[in-house]
Structure 1
Amino acid sequence: MDLVKGSSVLIVVLFHSVIHMYAVTPDGAVSSGWHSFMNVIEPLRMPIFFMVSGMLATSAMGRPWRLSRRRTYGMAYLYILWSAIFFIVVALYIHETPVEAVLNFPRRLLVGSSGYWYLYALLLYFVVAKLLRRWPAWIILAIAIALNLLRAPVAQWNRDFMTSIDVVSAMTSIVTNLVFYILGVYYKEVIAWVADRASWLRVAVVVALVSAYGIWRNSAPEYWEMTYLPISLAWIAAGVMLAHLLVEYNGPRRFGTFFGARTLPIFVVQFPLLMALSSYLRNNRPEYLQIPAVQVVFPILVTFGLVFAALLLYRITQKNLGKYLFEAPRWAIREHRASPSPSGEKEVSSAT
């Protein structure tokens, strides 16, 4: 799954690069083409990311809470820390006073007002899945599917209630993507079954079909809020099969190993840098961005630059206090194990 995980985070960064270019070049043919391409693969982008995250969380579901602090306290730490960094940058650009920034921060955290809603979702998903771990998996999956199928009402609920807390809210995405995390947690064997049946022909057929749907959907904005669960599942199947085929080759396997182990720094570092890029583009509207050839390569170059900057920061902070940008302090996530039981006494698990 390293190849899937590493590729997913690069697609996310590329998506954000395209969005910021498109915001200042909406009339460009190439820019519009990039934007349409991202709309076509939207059913894949975050769902497959959450599915892999669920697969990685499976082993922690059966452990006591005190042995799962990396996924609770650790994730909360990263969400709060990077949200704070991001909103400090935002405050500088929108001239928000320190008092306003501090007062707005809890509300923004609550509804996932930044790109770090992914970390928030992982925290919520893990807690929900662990609390319900004694339920039959099919019931949990059925609830998650229902929430996804109700995407339009969920989006309306988000607009009516959650945006009253803060103007920007990611709760629609958080609610509807739960199903993919649950699939990863409880149905790894199904995902493995799909991977084992990989063939280039099957990948090509599935990609052609879901791409055709995506092209149609891109031209029908009235359906954008409707669920695309079946299409996401088809995209995920194609992605899993493609990764299974590619890891037979040394290059893709090494690519997946490298980027799959570094998704967190790439994901979290991109947003403050994108905020700065967005401000520059909106304020200056550089003429070179109107050149079609530049529009072709601009998102790719921005993605490369963001990934390079993230990995550079990650590397230079690993042997100093900067490492706490990417991991919680040990005292916060230290997983306390029960002391050995006195002779003749049974040890009682805290999970009971």
Structure 2
Amino acid sequence: MNDARRVKLPWVDFAKGLCMVLVVLFHSALFMETQVNGDVVGFWWPVSEALSPIRMPLFFFISGLLSVSALGKGLGQSRQRTLGLYYVYLIWTFLFLMRLWLPLSRNGAPAPSAGDLVLSLLLPTSFWYLYALPVFFVAAWLLRRALGRFSAYALIPLALLSALSPLLEPLTQPVITAPLDALKVPSLATHFVWFYLGVHGRSLWDRLMASASYGRLALAAAAYAALVVPMMLFDLKLELKVPLSCLALFAMAQLVALVRMDARVPRWLQNLGSQTLPVYIFHIFLISVISALVKVSGLLQLLQSNLPLSNALLPPLMTIPIVVATVWLGKLIRSGPLWWLLEAPPALVGRKPARTPVAAQVVGPPKGPAKADPVQPGPAQAGPVS
């Protein structure tokens, strides 16, 4: 890999930060749908559904792109990406499951069995993205070595697997039942193709960015809207999911090439995109806390009595404070004695943990344009979405 490809490009963190905002917005809208709305469909839920072909495909594409150098090495040299991320998955999945011992968090369902708790740790559940990245990395490593110069052709069956992944849901849902999160094997089947496309698609992405124009961006956005509407109206995810995600990636290549990365909002997104791991982990906890507070405080009735206003305002009003709080929590933990909650121990991964040397600060826009520095993608750079 040449020097240009070792440079940390601003668009990478910008795109990751944008994905994280969309993920938190998605789960905030999901909170409204499941805890507040009843039979009423809120405004932000269909919006988040319409954005689903962008959120995770873009993030996994970037994760695959950032993995190319490491995939050329032995697995023993990439333990931070495999054992390290699985370690973080185990820690936070276990802590998240512990809330289910509180009856309020189970909505009247019985406490989970020990067997279900073990399955939730061994298989992809709540924090499935952290589970997926090590699996995808090892699978891509094996495919590249098994297929050699023909390894890119594996994208064809992987695209077919992605398109057919909804058929796996009825087969996997009975494995782990409520109040635990369902098994996320279909999500892994859906998104591996985008990680693998990132492994093989850097030169294509560079060409798309080099030829970007506002006309192409507008055309891609119009085509996306023309496809996403029938997908949602007629439940055509099986047929349109992969084409829509390809179109979304094309549109994002145009967008990140045209955006002024030194402007205020893009710089804020770059700052956010450089520390996605705590956002991904902690936003789920914070939304769970908000859900509990709404139930015990009587706010639920107030929200339900003003549903149009609640649906329009609450998800976006929740999103930014949650993002800011999660980044602050991540910096606080990394700078203190509990750093091991977000970084695997050195003995496990063969390297020193990336400790944050300064006190925690709330995320905000950088004071100047992002500077180029070497890419060293660890968990926080590879880290998520839903």
> Do both share a fold (TM > 0.5)?
yes
Q: Provide the residue aligned with 2:232 in structure 1.
A: 218
Displacement after TM superposition at 1:253 (Å):
4.4
Query: Where does residue 321 of structure 2 map in the other structure?
Result: 305
1: CA distance, partners of 2:240 / 2:230: 15
**CA 1:256–1:34 in structure 2 vs 1: closer, same or farther (change >3 Å)?**
closer
How many residues are matched?
327
**Separation in structure 1 between the aligned mates of residue 42 and residue 336 of structure 2, nearest angstrom:** 43
Structure 2 contact 164–238 (Cα < 8 Å) conserved = no
Aligned mate of 1:104, from 89, 92, 116: 116
The code of the aligned residue for 1:13 comes to V
1:77 aligns with 2:116: no
1:122-201 aligned within 5 A: 122-134=133-145, 135=147, 136-151=150-165, 155-160=166-171, 162-167=172-177, 168-201=182-215
- In structure 2, how many angstroms separate the alpha carbons of the residues matched to 1:157 and 1:248? 40
- Equivalent residue, structure 1, for 2:330: 314
User: 2:22·2:48 contact (CA, 8 Å) conserved in 1?
Assistant: no
1:1-352 alignment runs, 5 A limit: 1-23=12-34, 24-26=36-38, 32-92=42-102, 93-94=105-106, 100=112, 102-114=114-126, 116-134=127-145, 135=147, 136-151=150-165, 155-160=166-171, 162-167=172-177, 168-221=182-235, 223-281=236-294, 284=298, 285-291=300-306, 292-334=308-350
1:192 Cα deviation from its structure 2 partner:
1.2
Q: Alpha-carbon deviation of 1:49?
A: 1.0
CA distance in 1, matches of 2:81, 2:30: 30
Q: How far off is 1:158 after superposition?
A: 3.5
Say if 2:261 and 2:267, in contact at 8 Å, map to a contact too: no
RMSD over aligned Cα, in angstroms?
2.3
Identity between Structure 1 and Structure 2 (%)? 27
> Partners of 2:233 and 2:109 in 1: how far apart?
38
2: CA distance between counterparts of 1:219 and 1:280? 34
Q: Contact 1:80–1:109 (CA<8 Å) still a contact in 2?
A: yes
- TM, length-normalised to structure 1: 0.86
State how far apart, in whole Å, the 1-side matches of 2:207 and 2:68 are.
Answer: 17
Residue 26 of structure 1: how far off its partner (Å): 4.9
Give, in whole Å, the separation in 2 of the partners of 1:290 and 1:201.
44
Mapped to 1, the partners of 2:320 and 2:249 lie a distance apart of 25
Letter in 1 for 2:135: L
Where does the alignment leave 5 or more consecutive residues of structure 1 unmatched? 337-352
Give yes or no for contact 1:203–1:241 (8 Å, CA) kept in 2.
Answer: yes
Q: Distance in 2 between matches of 1:204 and 1:103?
A: 51
What CA distance in whole angstroms lies between the structure 2 residues aligned with 1:306 and 1:102? 32
For 2:170, give the aligned amino acid: R
Q: Could you tell me how far apart the structure 2 residues matched to 1:293 and 1:65 are?
A: 52
Distance 1:101 1:311, change over 3 A: farther
Is contact 1:141–1:179 with CA below 8 Å preserved after alignment? yes
Change (3 A) 1:74 1:247: farther
The code of the aligned residue for 2:325 comes to: A
Aligned partner of residue 317 in structure 1, secondary structure: helix
Deviations 1:52-87 (A, max 9, x none): 111111111011112101111111111111111111
In the superposition, the TM-score normalised over structure 2's length comes to: 0.78
SS at match of 1:2: helix
User: Residue 325 of structure 1: CA displacement?
Assistant: 2.0
Task: Between 88-97 and 174-183, report the one with greater CA deviation.
Answer: 88-97
- 5+ residue gaps, structure 2, are 1-11, 353-386
CA deviation vs aligned residue, 1:196-217 (integer Å, no higher than 9, x gap) = 1211221122112212321222
Equivalence for 2:380: none
Question: Shift of the alpha carbon at 1:281?
Answer: 4.2
Shift in alpha-carbon separation, 1:137–1:301, aligned structure 2, 3 A: same
SS class of match (2:42): helix
Offset of residue 90 of structure 1 = 2.9
Letter of the 2:28 counterpart: S
CA pair 325-97 structure 1, distance change in 2 beyond 3 A: farther
